[in-house]
Structure 1
Amino acid sequence: MSTAPATASRGIAPVIGNTVVMLLLAACAWLLAGLHDGDWWQAMPSATRGYAAAMAMLAYAGLVAAFLYRAHARDKAMQPSDVMTQDALWVVHASQTGFAMELADMTATSLRRGGVTVQRAALEHLDSARLQTIERAVFVISTTGEGDPPDPALGFVRQVMSQTPALKGLQYAVLALGDREYTQFCAFGHQLDDWLRRQGAQPLFDLVEVDNADDSALRHWQHHIAQLGNGEEAPDWSAPRYDAWRLRERVELNPGSLGGPAFHLSLAPDTGTLPDWTAGDIAEIGPRHAAGDVEDFLHRLALPADVPVRWQGETQALATVLACSHWPDMASTRVFPDAQALADACTPLPHREYSIASLPADGALHLLVRLMRRADGTPGLGSGWLCTHAQTSDAVLLRIRRNPNFHPPAAAAPLILIGNGTGLAGLRAHLKVRAQAGATRNWLLFGERQRACDFFHADELLAWRAQGALEHLDLAFSRDGGEHRYVQHALLAQANRLRSWIDEGAAVYVCGSLAGMAPEVDAVLRIVLGDDRVEELRANGRYRRDVY
């Protein structure tokens, strides 16, 4: 099953060949030296210079040996091990310049920090037999030239991707690296993703594209990777460049619901000028701890809140640093003699992502956020900050991330929108842009718990339907008595309409929970339309998802 012996032999062969050549050259030099009588030339160098030259050659040989050893060790580390933990998550790279390998190493580190057992490998070291034994894998894939795979991955393309192994037991994700200046942007990443799907592998989440090492796309990847571990929050690989916004309005939309409270939030930038964004784009939020929690922490340490410290290249008050950072635990803080030492031990809180529920024409950025709670009952990091802690006087750190994979289709195309819970946020923005454009071929399928409590933005949706901007509205409320019914069931019940709309050129946009709703909706689409049709929709950009 292992490819390690074959790979090892391929790595040893060049070393043996080079060694034989060097020995032959040395033998020739010794034979030729015997043809000379006396000195080789009149001005023979001194013995001291000869010794110096010999030492220089030995040093050079040692340096070359060190480089070869490091390269061999790195190559060996990228080879699959014969003894692997069954539940290991594989982190596989295909790299041309080394950037994909670097990102794969960072991905592996993040996963290990989250308690995940990791196996690292290069794509060229995998074969069909090995792939069929893997249960979970993430691939960091570069594209080179005009849509070509990296040189080391050519063997995998020819020998493995030309086959059709059964990979139904594999769950995977792909980070595709590329440059939008090239026509075939991220082509090899998409090619691998398509091939894995055709073999029956199931995506953990949708492919993430990275244009020229875009830090926002990499943070999006890191956000998804964090969900594969135990939930331990790691610092962002690169710090987002936030702007200061203010909370203008916060309204609970579902008082009395069986589920967690959900809030409509309205924010505006301190500059007073709204930036531009498009339906489908994402708001990245820099969360903060509650002010009371920061005060309690400082009180226990007997440190003043306003003492200045250097952190992240700036001078800030200690309380400000603590508000937006991970703290060392109380046991370890005893070793820090002063405020600066404490600040040095703090790492930035990771960002949180939310679908934007409005357009710039609305005059504010709207979010739909559910308050999440940890196992101990305390509010979640991002939702706790936005839903309970942040006040109108507080700065909310925010940046907008373009999400072209969820941007609107052409206005002339019919649009099927499917979502549950707070996933309605991203769908609401699409309905707004469609209404503005006068595009009325819109069909919304939405699911939640109770109609009386959880029909978010009901007045707005019903008004769109009455005005003709929403042609069909199908609702599924799972806790309104009788058999539990979810949005996927509402979609299956409208199988004939689904086929008809797809035949008329409709696009399907899904927004909401990755763990339950998204795969169930995907399964219904495949039941009604067939796998080939669904893959065709996905390849043509007519099946898009914003799931989390």
Structure 2
Amino acid sequence: MNAIVQPPGAAVLERVDQALLGLPVDNLIWLSGYVYGLARQPPQTTAVAQRTVAIYYGSQTGNARRLAEGTAARLKAEGQNVRLSSLADLRLRDLRGLEEALFVVSTQGDGEPPEDCRSFFEALDAESAPQLSQLRYAVLALGDSSYPHYCAAGRRLDARLAALGAQPAHERLEADLDFARTAPPWLAQWQSTLAPVESAPQVLAVPTAATTSAPTPEQPLALELLSNLPLTTSAALREVRHLELAFEPGQLGYQPGDALGLRFANPPELVEPVLQALAIDAQQPVQLDGDTLTLQQALAERLEISRLGRPLLQQLAQHSGDARLQSLLQPANSGDLQRYLRGHQLLDLLQAWPGVLDAQRLVDSLPPLQQRLYSIASSPSRHADEVHLTVALRRDQQAERLALGACSTALAQLQPGQQIGAWVQPNERFRLPSDPSRDIIMIGPGTGVAPYRGFLAERNETGASGRHWLFFGCRRRADDFLYQTEWLQAQREGRLQRLSTAFSRDGSARTYVQDRLRAEAAELYRWIDGGAHIYLCGDAFAMAP
């Protein structure tokens, strides 16, 4: 159907007549075709300058980074100009020209930001920090409510940005361990505050050579178990095992110092006692994140039952009226709360307060099953298409029962030929020196020695000329000297120049790694003066002063 043509008004016709007055006939004929051609062209759009939306993350275990990356990908798909960067790479002066920014930051230790972005926080707190009145921002803070300084880094960042004149585009979200549930709707609300994309060009994806995306927690890679062997004797206080897992060439890339994340199910040894304590039909349906599944499925596959969180205690305190629980939840008792949560499991609470929570309330109170990260104990150069782990089984005596670790118990039961989902968690702060002639000093009590097995293998395989010094500690040489044969052989062959050990239960005097460090102080200083790199790995609670 033809469009209805409207004649121009008198004023327009008058201007046209004046412009055409006196032109020869051939010019008028040419102009008629020119004007007709203009009319047939599609309407032009005026290019609208798109503001840049900056997304910055501060991440210790990778959760904040993955949330930031996912958000950036969604915004780019909608035509937004997006800048994605770690806070570790952000200079304060880069904020002065920005109008929109999202900050996704986690909290570590005693309320500290992630290690690699602490210098940014220090610069932001300085008196010389610039005014940021042109900036609209939002903060997504990640944390664990069982710790005293919950989301402290995010709160600190939010307060400082506001003090510098920046305007909050959306209220801060403090996301607990269930951030996978709470973050997406908040991010959608923040995204709705952004200026709409105008005249966004369509982007055509051009097919390229087939590529394989790296495994993620959401889409892990299935690794096949090759072997699962004990590293300790039956007399050791804690059983430690060595696992070797295989993958197809090119499926899993890692570097020495990285960690392996694992997707696992809670083993029956943890699930069945919980169901018995609840005295509820295991097949009772419950709702979880929009899915209907049985209570047993939820406890086994989707929920954390070996680690406690604050929401569960809040539910128990509310429905039981227990004074002790209510006292623990007071802000002044945050230290006691953390110790209580660390020393108990779900089963303990269900036995202490039976019948208080029904199946749905319990499911609503438990955090999602969390990833577990293990330091990689292998070298990609020596152990091609394999990744090795050093796993200590958690079996802690709590009250009158043995508390089991969920992932370590599942791994101990894994048989050769079976599979487990995995992905690599890079650790850029724990890398071998780029200069192969540099000496390295490795300090690793207990399973903290795991990454150094990969370090030494990689350096030996690539022909690094630097020297190696290992400090290792355990209880007894005969029971839990992890990888003893490998270290002693490397020392005999000159691949491990120094090996300093401490066995705290051998002999009358208890000797620990720190004692060996003090005894070797003079030689340590010589190595350090020569440019040696120092590495420390181990249980943060056990090594804390």
Q: What's the TM-score, normalizing by structure 1?
A: 0.50
Residue 540 of structure 2 aligns to a residue whose secondary structure is: coil
Residue 261 of structure 2 aligns to a residue whose secondary structure is: strand
Q: Write the mapping of 1:188-337 to structure 2, written as runs, cut at 5 A.
A: 188-189=120-121, 222=144, 225=147, 235-238=177-180, 240-243=217-220, 244-268=222-246, 274-294=251-271, 303=281, 311-312=288-289, 319-324=296-301, 325-326=303-304, 329=350
Given candidates 339, 348, 368, the residue that maps to 1:348 is: 368
- Alignment deviations for residues 318-357 of structure 1 (CA, whole Å, 9 cap, x no partner): 5433213146858787876xx8887666541222222111
Contact 1:370 1:383 in 2 (8 A): no
Given candidates 441, 451, 459, the residue that maps to 1:434 is: 459
Given candidates 365, 380, 387, the residue that maps to 1:365 is: 387
Query: Residues 508 and 192 from structure 1, CA distance in 2 versus in 1: closer, same or farther, beyond 3 angstroms?
Result: farther
Aligned to 1:421: 446
Contact 1:235 1:349 in 2 (8 A): no
- Alignment deviations for residues 161-180 of structure 1 (CA, whole Å, 9 cap, x no partner): xxxxxxxxxx94521599xx
Contact 1:100 1:177 in 2 (8 A): no
Alignment partners' CA distance in 2, 1:317 and 1:263: 33
The offset of 1:262, in angstroms, is: 1.3
- Alignment deviations for residues 227-286 of structure 1 (CA, whole Å, 9 cap, x no partner): 999xxxx735238425243443222211144421111122335x7864011111112234
Contact 2:241 2:412 in 1 (8 A): no
What residue identity is the alignment partner of 1:473?
Answer: L
Deviates more, 1:285-294 or 1:385-394: 385-394
Alignment partners' CA distance in 2, 1:345 and 1:257: 39
**Bigger CA radius of gyration:** 2
Indicate the RMSD between aligned Cα atoms, in angstroms.
Answer: 4.7
- Alignment deviations for residues 508-532 of structure 1 (CA, whole Å, 9 cap, x no partner): 111113234365xxxxxxxxxxxxx
Aligned to 1:175: 113
Given candidates 471, 476, 492, the residue that maps to 1:445 is: 471
Aligned to 2:73: none
What residue identity is the alignment partner of 1:401?
Answer: Q
The offset of 1:380, in angstroms, is: 3.5
Aligned to 1:378: 402
Deviates more, 1:244-253 or 1:294-303: 294-303
Aligned to 1:498: 524
What residue identity is the alignment partner of 2:433?
Answer: P
Contact 1:288 1:385 in 2 (8 A): no
Give 5+ residue unaligned stretches, structure 2. Answer: 1-52, 65-85, 97-108, 128-137, 152-175, 182-216, 306-311, 313-349
Over the matched positions of the two proteins, sequence identity in percent amounts to 29
Alignment partners' CA distance in 1, 2:281 and 2:516: 57
Alignment partners' CA distance in 1, 2:542 and 2:506: 19
Alignment partners' CA distance in 2, 1:466 and 1:190: 47
Contact 2:258 2:425 in 1 (8 A): yes
Contact 2:286 2:360 in 1 (8 A): yes
Contact 1:284 1:400 in 2 (8 A): yes
Q: Write the mapping of 1:156-175 to structure 2, written as runs, cut at 5 A.
A: 172-175=110-113
Alignment partners' CA distance in 1, 2:510 and 2:355: 50
Alignment partners' CA distance in 1, 2:289 and 2:365: 12
Given candidates 456, 461, 479, the residue that maps to 2:505 is: 479
Alignment partners' CA distance in 1, 2:230 and 2:477: 15
Query: Residues 226 and 416 from structure 1, CA distance in 2 versus in 1: closer, same or farther, beyond 3 angstroms?
Result: farther
Contact 1:143 1:150 in 2 (8 A): no
Residue 378 of structure 1 aligns to a residue whose secondary structure is: strand
Alignment partners' CA distance in 2, 1:150 and 1:415: 38
The offset of 1:421, in angstroms, is: 0.4
Aligned to 2:336: none
Alignment partners' CA distance in 2, 1:433 and 1:277: 12
Q: Write the mapping of 1:74-85 to structure 2, written as runs, cut at 5 A.
A: none
Contact 1:248 1:266 in 2 (8 A): yes
The offset of 1:488, in angstroms, is: 1.6
Alignment partners' CA distance in 2, 1:474 and 1:387: 30
Give 5+ residue unaligned stretches, structure 1. Answer: 1-95, 108-140, 152-170, 179-184, 196-212, 520-548
Contact 1:449 1:477 in 2 (8 A): yes
Contact 1:475 1:487 in 2 (8 A): yes
> When the two structures are aligned, how many residues end up with a matched partner?
336
- Alignment deviations for residues 452-505 of structure 1 (CA, whole Å, 9 cap, x no partner): 111111111112112221111111111110311111221222222112111211
What residue identity is the alignment partner of 1:249?
Answer: S
Deviates more, 1:356-365 or 1:239-248: 239-248
Contact 1:281 1:356 in 2 (8 A): yes
What residue identity is the alignment partner of 2:121?
Answer: G
Aligned to 1:59: none
Alignment partners' CA distance in 1, 2:413 and 2:54: 45
**Higher relative CO (CA 8 A, sep ≥ 6), structure 1 or 2?**
2
Query: Residues 193 and 464 from structure 1, CA distance in 2 versus in 1: closer, same or farther, beyond 3 angstroms?
Result: farther
Contact 2:442 2:470 in 1 (8 A): yes
